[in-house]
Amino acid sequence: MKVTEDLLKDALRYGKAFTKFGKTAQYIPELRAVNQYYLGVCTIDLEGNVLEAGDTRIPFTIQSISKLASLILAIRDCGADHLFHEKVGVEPTGDPFNSIIKLETKTRPFNPFINAGAIAVASCIKGADADEKFERFLTFTRKLCDNDEIALNQAVYESERDTGDRNRALAYYLKASGILEGDVEECLDFYFRMCSVNVTAHDIAYMSLVLANHGIDPRDGEELIEPQNAKAIRALMLTCGMYDGSGEFAMTVGFPAKSGVGGGIAASLVDRMGIGVFGPALDEKGNSAGGIKILEYLSEKMGVSLF
Ligand code: GLN
């Protein structure tokens, strides 16, 4: 079945029933207060056709979906070989996104999408200090999302910074193991800021579209990431993008996606489209409860599971 606005509306209706089963991210005070019943879905195809249903223009913080943009930027800055050989692995952990447990037995974080891996990757982004790194990240994210208005949510940033001791613990451990480069506090400050950028479902649909289009911006043909690296990132999204829910997501949805605790999920259908969903009520793994159900519905009706 082809995607239509009616199909998105049906998917939204289906997903809506599940928003009451989730909870907004409780460990970041500013996120706790968000209306948990928001839900929206946006698709953008290779020709630039946009379809949307529900709350697709409500801003929310990008959170872990920033790990896509920062990984691409770090690959551009220091190369995939260096990153994947020296800094992070490419294997799923089966542990929660903020887990520290495997850092002691295996020095490199398992993959770039868990917090430890993303902090290691963040330390590889070029810039004299956190301000410069963040400016470069913001400029690049605006390009990936085709939206020049994307900006920091100051309140969420401060909330994350003030309560981010777990991420601090991960970062200092990585420094002690020789993985994290440079100043730890500088790196953390950049990490908290990159997670706290406001986006919409439309923005992350565009970012997913670039990955679905082999790293090429379909609007102007610019290569934002090399095709073989876009392929590697889609593979990582499939195996690690939904944290310790990635296996089940592969079974029930079956295409590459990356979630964030702000409630977003960015999903890529290669050679077809980018999908962005937003629903801040999270399941126990930290993935959008209603958002997953929307993607399940679309996967089944459109017949787009890779399996
Ligand atoms: N900023 C969040 C954190 O570091 C990102 C985690 C997420 O979205 N899963 O805890």
Return the ligand 1 atom nearest residue 97 CA: 9
Residue 292 CA to ligand 1 center (angstroms) comes to 18
Q: What is the pTM of this model?
A: 0.97
Name all residues whose Cβ lies below 6 A of ligand 1. 63-64, 97-98, 115, 160, 167, 195, 260-261, 286
How far apart are the C-alpha atoms of 154 and 152, rounded to whole Å?
A: 6
Q: 121 to each of 74, 117, 182, 296, how far by Cα in Å?
A: 6, 6, 12, 30
Query: What H or E segment, with its residue span, contains residue 38?
Result: none
ipTM of the complex: 0.97
What the chain holds in terms of domains, given with CATH numbers, is: 5-60+199-302 (3.40.710.10), 64-195 (3.40.710.10)
Task: Give the residue whose CA is nearest to atom 2 of ligand 1.
Answer: 63
Residue 118 CA to ligand 1 center (angstroms) comes to 10
Question: Which of 61, 64, 198, 243 for a ligand 1 pocket mutation test, highest count of atoms within 8 Å of Cβ?
Answer: 64
Query: Going residue by residue through the chain (307 aa), what tens digit of pLDDT does each one get?
Result: 899 999 999 999 999 999 999 999 999 999 999 999 999 999 999 999 999 999 999 999 999 999 999 999 999 999 999 999 899 999 999 889 999 888 888 779 999 999 999 999 999 999 999 999 999 999 999 999 999 999 999 999 999 999 999 999 999 999 999 999 899 999 999 999 999 999 999 999 999 999 999 999 999 999 999 999 999 999 999 999 999 999 999 999 999 999 999 999 999 999 999 999 999 999 999 999 999 999 999 999 999 999 9
Q: Is 67 a catalytic residue?
A: yes
Amino acid in the structure at residue 300: E
Residue 225 CA to ligand 1 center (angstroms) comes to 24
Contact 305, 255 (CB under 8 A): yes
